[in-house]
Amino acid sequence: MSMKSGFVSIFGKPSVGKSSLMNAILGTRLSIVSPKQQTTWYNILGVLNRKDAQVCFVDTPGYHKVSKSKLNKYLVETALQSLEDIELIYFVIDQSAYLDAEYEEMITIVTKPGKPIFLVVNKLDLDTAKRHDLVAAPFVEKLHPTAVFHVSAATGAGIPQLVKATIETMPAGEPYFDEKTLTSHPIELIVADTVREQLFSRLQDELPYSAAVVTDDITESPKGIRAMVSIYVAKDSQKGMIIGKGGELIATIKDVARKNLVRFLGERVELDVRVKVEKNWNRKPLTMKRFGLSVSKK
Ligand SMILES: Nc1nc2c(ncn2[C@@H]2O[C@H](COP(=O)(O)OP(=O)(O)OP(=O)(O)O)[C@@H](O)[C@H]2O)c(=O)[nH]1
Ligand SMILES: [Mg+2]
């Protein structure tokens, strides 16, 4: 049987459901999800293994030039980097999308390399007014996608059709990874991100964007994993806000993150979480680099 293989970039504005979509395709919660914009901070590889194909998806940070902060600049650069060396682009929008100037800019960027593009219109379950074709129309006109898919990452509607067409679009080729591989994302980052997901779900305003999460130490044994995690905040005043009254909030963050890790990894997890202050880390390129938030130059 001839194999097909290739890479797909999942590109779009924040909160359209890119990470949810990758998780729905893979059938696992690899990439973190929250209602807040720019939850995803890295390009996360998720590998779909089928008998006759291997599709390597890259979930990306939301493309949105909201602020001139160093973190935002890094996120946009990271998303753009995902468009290199791939076979197919998913241009993901949701039911609230309308073609604004930023979308025009994104369309110019993705159409430039001349690669196949699927327009993926997500959150179909929210489309009670049956407007999804109307929402898609201006994008179809400008983007000239190879195909259009209306899906719901939440219910799974349309996902099998999307996956089938994606496999058909992949070129003939050998797998890039061992067939057991789900991701190349290191366990340290998965642990840190699972904690960060709780910060995004439970903290308000700018706070989640001022907290970098780093796994300092991890040990794996037949008994399970033990991980030491630090949450670095940018100001003294933010520390107490994460710890919460009587340490309640940090205890919940730790507890829920630990349970999510157990579910994802399928093994016992011991988790230690400390909150530390690293003054203005988000304004210091070298500290950001130490926290894994810099674009590697090839
Ligand atoms: N109703 C509904 N909600 C969805 C669907 N897909 C995603 N969501 C929700 O939309 C929000 C954003 O989802 P994410 O998957 O984190 O979005 P994203 O595009 O990865 O966002 P960033 O990483 O911030 O760029 C979350 O609250 C999800 O639960 C869907 O198909 N239907
Ligand atoms: Mg995401």
- Residue 281: domain span: 187-290
User: For residue 220, what are its two tokens?
Assistant: 């794996």
Judged against a pLDDT cut of 80, whether residue 267 lies above it is answered with: yes
Residues 38-55 pLDDT 10s: 999 999 999 999 999 999
Last residue of a domain, one of 112, 140, 169: 169
Beta strands per DSSP E along 105-244: 117-122, 147-150, 211-221, 224-233
Residue of 33, 150, 198 to test ligand 1 pocket, by largest number of atoms within 8 Å of CB: 33
Per-residue model confidence (pLDDT) at position 68: 86
What DSSP line would sit under 65-93, residue for residue? Answer: -----HHHHHHHHHHHHTTSS-SEEEEEE
Residues 31 and 152 in one domain: yes
Q: pLDDT grade, residue 297 (50/70/90)? A: low
Q: Are residues 36 and 101 in the same domain?
A: yes
Any ligand 1 atom below 6 A from CB of 123: yes
Q: Tell me, what's the pLDDT at 296?
A: 67
- Pocket flag, ligand 1, residue 127 (CB < 6 Å): no
Residue 103 near residue 4, CB atoms below 8 Å: no
User: With a 6 A CB cut-off, is 132 part of the ligand 1 pocket?
Assistant: no
Contact in structure between 119 and 148 (CB atoms under 8 Å): yes
Cα–ligand 2 centroid distance for 217 (angstroms)? 25
- pLDDT higher than threshold 50 for residue 148: yes
Clarify whether residues 203 and 159 are in a common domain.
Answer: no
End-to-end CA distance of the chain: 35
Within 13 Å and on the Cβ side, how many CA atoms surround 7? Answer: 17
Q: Is 297 inside a domain boundary?
A: no
pLDDT tens digits, residue range 179-216? 999 999 999 999 999 999 999 999 999 999 999 999 99
Tell me which residue has its CA closest to atom 24 in ligand 1: 38
Task: Say yes or no: 35 and 8 in one domain.
Answer: yes
Give the residue from 201, 24, 10, 8 showing the smallest Cα distance to 93.
10
- CA of residue 151 relative to chain centroid, distance: 18
Q: Shortest CA distance to 216 belongs to which of 276, 295, 151? A: 276
Has residue 178 been placed in a domain?
no
Residue 228 lies in a domain: yes
- pTM of full prediction above 0.75: yes
